[in-house]
Amino acid sequence: MLPIILFVPLLIFIIFSCFLKLLLFIYKRKNSLREDFSSKAWDNARFLVASLFSVTGKLWHGYELHGMEKIPEGPGLIVYYHGPVPIDYCYFIYNLYIQKRRVCYSVVDHFIAMLPGVEIYLNLLPALHSGREECVEILKKGNLLGVAPGGAREAFCSDENYNFLWGNRTGFAQVAIDAKVVSVFLCVDINITH
C-alpha cells in the first residue's frame, strides 16, 4: 500500500501535464499557430501555463514569492541552487511571468530536452541547452537567464544542508562578463513549505 501512496503525487502531476498539453494543442490548432513560441500569439497560452502551475505551487506547496521588485527591467543572470527537483525555480519563472510579463530563459541539461512531452513547456517558457554563445546572446537582447551551476551533480550529490557543489563551474560568470551584464542575482534561499 505504501509504494502506491508514494506514486500518487507523480501520477497527479502526469495527469495534470497531459491535460495541460492537450489544452495547448487545442489552443495551437484553434489559433492556427506555428512553432514560433517567441510570437505574441503564444502569450495567452504562456499565461495559462504559468497561472495553472502557479496555483499548483501555492496549493500543493504553499509557494510564495517575495522581492520581485528587485529584478531589473533589463538583462539579468539569475543563479540558483538546483536541488533534486528544481520545482521552486519553476514556480519562480511562472510567477515572474504572471507578475511582470517577463520570460526568464533557463539553461537545462540536454537530458531534459529529450524527455517526451516536455518540449512544449521548454519552448513556451523558454529553455535552452546549447552553450555559452547562446546564453550571451539572450542576455545581450535584454532578457533574464536562469542557471544552476551545480546542475545534476549538485542535485543528486548534495544533502539537506544545501551545500553548493559548483566545483570549477564558473562559466555563468563568464557569460555575464561577455554579455556585459551587471545584474546577477543569487537565489540561494528559495523555500517551499510542505
Decide if 61 is catalytic.
Answer: no
Report d(CA 61, CA 75) in Å as an integer.
29
Q: Which of 61, 66, 82, 129 is catalytic?
A: 82
Nearest to 84 by CA among 13, 163, 9, 156: 156
Q: Determine the average pLDDT of the residues in 175-181.
A: 81
Predicted model pTM: 0.78
| Domain extents in the chain | 2-187
- For residue 189, is pLDDT > 80? no
| Mean pLDDT comparison of 75-79, 137-141, 185-189, highest-scoring range | 137-141
Residue that the C-alpha cell 551587471 belongs to: 182
Choice between 188 and 132, residue whose per-residue pLDDT is larger: 132
